[in-house]
Structures are given as structure tokens and as C-alpha cells.
Amino acid sequence: MRGNLQHNSGSHRMANRDFYERLSGGLGWFSIALGVAEVAAPSRVAALIGVRDEIKTRKVLRTYGLREIASGVGILSEPRPARWVWGRVGGDLLDLASLTSARHTHKTRAVVATAAVLGVTALDVMCAQQLSEDGGKHSSRRRKIVSSITVNRPPDEVYRFWTDLERLPSFMKHLESVQRTGPQTSHWKAKGPFGTTVEWDAEIVYDEPNRTIAWRSLEGSDIHNAGRVTFKEAPNGRGTIVTVELSFEPPGGPLTAHVAKLLRAVPKLQIHDDLRAFKQIMEVGEIVHSDASIFPGMHPAQPPERIPAQVH
């Protein structure tokens, strides 16, 4: 019973965290869209919110638009964007003050605009508070990757293979080994940056057979990570949609974290390649290599068995 409660609690925390991360992303895109409108068409925005279209009003709206764009970019570019969301809260309060002090041309539109800003402010505050609380447990250097693939096998078969942890290195090239250390715990060893090796212990925090498995690293690990794999039946019986959600903190301190941020596409491509290899193992029984992947340098696509004699 205690194990089930722990798994349910871990799943709830992960779902809650994912919700607010998605919400912050939505707020980021909303900021950018609103900011572009305020910068590009301040007169239309003024008419929409029911305030007088004046030179001063247009200048203020353009300034607010630049602030919104900066906030949106900050939210979308930072893995833990609590401070940027709090910045949105400050901007919301400034917007409310401006709406109440501005000269109105359409009272009803002004009231509707004020109500809309109040609603967005409530969302911003709720999201900022949650991300701030979560920020104490997760580093600002943490990255998140989501990747999916469809495997032409039923969910129960795909789930069984994936949960046999010691088989994961067969298709995950960066893993050296995975060893079970208990019913819900395991020890992982992987290739690190610059030829190093990183190790960590992990525990399964949620396991719903044939549907979902989630894990997190334990204290003292070289690399802090958490993730979830879901197995969903594909439409028309076309197999299983496997979705991997992985968040991790790059090892090696601030310099490595900065490099990882600049090259954030590399881990995503790695996960994508791992999923393609997993698909091949499940469907073909082995990883299929092309000539391009096993022959270094320039080479013909299909090397001839013999060189034909030259005609003189």
C-alpha cells in the first residue's frame, strides 16, 4: 500500500509540474503575440481596449509591447522561468494601473479589457508561485526533452522490453550499463562529456503496466534526471506510440551547462536516434546500419565487388 501511495504521489507531482511548465510556455507565446500586436499596431490595440488613441498612448503601448516580447522570449528560453513569469505579474499590475488611469473612449471595452488582464494576472501569479516552489528542488540548468515514435508492436510487448532495464544499453548508445539494485531501484552508467563516465542511482516512482513508467535519480548522483515513458495504442491498430519525456541537469558545472544550452538540440537528436534504434529492435530484431554509418569518410553507396577492366 505504501509503495502504491508513493508511486501515486510521485506521478501527481510530475503531472502537476508538467502542467505548470506547459502553462508557462503558453504564457510565453501569449506575451510574444501580444507584444508584437502592441508594437506593430498600437492604434488597433488602443481601440480594442477602449482607450483614446493618442501619440502618448501609442508610445506607451509600444514600450509595453517590447516588455511583453522580452518576457515571452525569457519564459520560452529558460528551463525554469519563474523570474520571467514574476516579471509578467509586475507587467500585469502596470497594465491595470494604465487601464484605470487612461482616458477611455469605450467604457464597455475598457471594463472587458480590465477583466481579461485580471484573469491573466491570476494565471501568472499561480504559475509563478508554483514554479518558484519547484525551483528549490530543481536546478535552473535543467533541460527538458520530449520525443515520440510509433513502433509496430502492441503496447504490452513494447512495455515489457522497455522495463527490462538491463536491455536499455542495447539501443541507447550513450548508456554503458544498467543494473537493478532493488525492486524499484537501479544503478546507471553512461558516457559523459569529454570522454568521462557518469553514474547515478534511480528509482521508479510510478509504474502502470503497459501504459506508463516514470523514474527519477536519487541524491548523490553524478547527473540529476527524471523522466517518463508512455505507451499508447496507435490508431487503426498500427502499433504503439512511445513518448519519452526526459528532464536532466548537465554535469560539469556552469561551463558545461552553458555549452549544453547552446547545443540543446544534441541531446534531443540523441533521444530521437535511440528511439529509432528501439523501433528497429522491436520490429526487425536488430539495429540496421547503412553503409554511411559503418564506413568512415567518402565511399560509394554500394561498393563494387570488383573493378571492371578499363577499355583502351
Strands (DSSP E) contained in the chain are 143-151, 175-180, 185-191, 197-208, 212-217, 224-233, 240-249
Please choose, from the candidates 84, 86, 89, 94, the residue with its C-alpha nearest in 3D space to the C-alpha of residue 64: 94
Q: At what angle do helices 107-135 and 42-49 cross, to 10 degrees?
A: 100
Rounded to 5 degrees, what are φ and ψ at 232? -120, 135
Amino acid at 86: W
Amino acid at 9: S
pLDDT at 6: 47
pLDDT at 266: 47
pLDDT at 13: 57
Residues 38/58, Cβ–Cβ less than 8 Å: no
Q: What is the DSSP letter of 141?
A: T
pLDDT tens for 285-312 read: 877 655 444 444 444 444 444 434 443 3
Rounded to 5 degrees, what are φ and ψ at 5? -65, -40
b/e string for 263-283 if b means 16 or more Cβ within 10 A? eeeebbeebbebbebbbbbbe
Residues 159/231, Cβ–Cβ less than 8 Å: yes
pLDDT at 2: 43
| Spatial CB neighbours of 236, under 8 Å, sequence gap ≥ 6 | none
pLDDT at 236: 87
Q: Which fold has domain 143-290?
A: Alpha-D-Glucose-1,6-Bisphosphate; Chain A, domain 4 (3.30.530)
Torsion angle of C-alpha atoms 196, 197, 203, 208, degrees rounded to 10: 90
Sequential pLDDT tens for the chain (312 residues): 444 444 455 555 555 666 777 888 889 899 999 999 999 999 999 999 999 889 999 999 999 999 999 888 888 866 668 888 888 998 999 898 888 887 888 889 989 999 999 999 999 998 888 887 765 444 445 567 888 999 999 999 999 998 999 999 998 888 899 999 999 999 998 876 667 787 889 999 889 999 999 988 888 776 777 888 999 999 988 899 999 988 776 554 443 444 344 334 446 667 888 899 999 999 988 776 554 444 444 444 444 444 344 433
Residues 199/221, Cβ–Cβ less than 8 Å: yes
Domain borders along the chain are 2-135, 143-290
Rounded Cα gap, residues 221 and 245, in angstroms: 19
